[in-house]
């Protein structure tokens, strides 16, 4: 961490639903594959430019692929997985160049052995970095996360169920709840993302499609957040 980052105001966790890649491609009359490519490139570009953001961000969680995305056409899913295979190694290089730590949150069920190996390799290769944590929420669904947590609790025969116990059995047990959630694409819903964790999260719905979202848009949202008085239920 450099001296300029220390002087910046800290935000612990930002979650982002990267919506609008398909509509971006339709608008430009290009294939969905190109839209998804632009979406991934923008995710990487945001990560590369974190030092140009006005705040020091400890963690960012990107909603990459939801458990509901399996209902898309086989050809679109295959294109997405080929894209993810290709870009994970590029993400690793960008992470190491910019001192970022890559982590995966979500189920590895239904993922190919090749992809699991790529995810594990990228996680290992970046874990000694000391900058922002980049949490890639891949094959993630909040309801399934909660079901898995309740199964773990029942197996351990815990009689007293508390919020802390549930939180400690989630995929995200090691990361703070988001202070900010951003959804691009002019859609005002949460789409099964971090439902347990966002009880006091400030939510920003953005009209721009994800491939068009940039660091200036990011800074505007963070500046708005900085002006909010957060009472957490108190007066």
**155 located within any domain:** no
Residue 98's CATH number: 3.40.1180.10
DSSP string covering 128-172, please?
A: T--S-EEEEEEEE-HHHHHHHHHHHHHHTT-SS--HHHHHTTSTT
Q: What is the pLDDT of residue 230?
A: 80
Residue 170 belongs to a domain: no
The answer as to whether 3 is a domain residue is no
Residue 195 lies in a domain: yes
Percent share of the chain, pLDDT over 90: 73
pLDDT band of residue 110 (cuts 50, 70, 90) is confident
Residue-level pLDDT at 140: 96
pLDDT attached to residue 114: 87
Domains in the chain, number: 1
Indicate whether 2 pLDDT > 60.
no
The answer to the question of residue 201 being in a domain is yes
The answer to whether residue 33 sits within a structural domain is yes
Task: Give the pLDDT of residue 235.
Answer: 63
Q: How many CA atoms lie within 13 A of 198 on its CB side?
A: 19
Question: What integer best gives the mean pLDDT of the chain?
Answer: 91
Using left for φ > 0, alpha for ψ between -120 and 50, and beta otherwise, residue 20 falls in: left
**48-96: per-residue pLDDT in tens?**
999 889 999 999 999 999 999 999 888 888 888 888 888 887 888 999 9
Query: Would you say residue 162 lies in a domain?
Result: no
List pLDDT tens digits, range 147-206: 999 999 988 776 788 999 999 999 999 999 999 999 999 999 999 999 999 999 999 999
Domain range for residue 107?
8-141+176-226
- Reading the block at residue 170, the tokens are 């989630």
For position 44, what pLDDT does the model report? 93
DSSP element (H, E) containing 219: helix 215-226
Question: Which residues are known to be catalytic?
Answer: 19, 69
Any domain includes 147: no
Neighbours of 47 (CB within 10 A): 19
**Which pLDDT does position 102 carry in this prediction?**
95
């Amino acid at each position: 961490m450099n001296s300029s980052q220390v002087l910046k105001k800290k935000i612990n966790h930002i979650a982002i639903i990267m919506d609008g890649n398909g509509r971006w491609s339709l608008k430009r009359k290009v294939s969905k594959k190109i839209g998804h490519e632009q979406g991934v490139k923008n995710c990487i570009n945001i990560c590369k430019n974190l030092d140009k953001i006005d705040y020091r961000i400890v963690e960012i969680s990107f909603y990459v692929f939801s458990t509901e995305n399996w209902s898309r056409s086989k050809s679109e899913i295959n294109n997405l997985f080929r894209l993810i295979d290709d870009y994970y190694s590029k993400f690793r290089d960008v992470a190491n160049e910019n001192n970022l730590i890559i982590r995966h949150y979500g189920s590895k069920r239904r993922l190919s052995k090749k992809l699991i190996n790529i995810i594990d390799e990228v996680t290992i290769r970046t874990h000694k970095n000391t900058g922002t944590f980049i949490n890639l929420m891949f094959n993630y669904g909040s309801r399934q996360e909660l079901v898995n947590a309740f199964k773990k609790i029942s197996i351990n025969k815990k009689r007293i169920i508390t919020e802390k116990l549930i939180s400690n059995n989630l995929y995200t047990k090691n990361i703070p709840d988001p202070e900010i959630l951003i959804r691009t694409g002019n859609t005002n819903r949460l789409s099964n993302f971090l439902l347990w964790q966002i009880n006091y999260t400030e939510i920003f719905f953005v009209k721009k499609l994800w491939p068009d979202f940039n660091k200036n848009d990011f800074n505007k949202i963070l500046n708005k957040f900085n002006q909010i008085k957060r009472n957490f239920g108190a007066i």
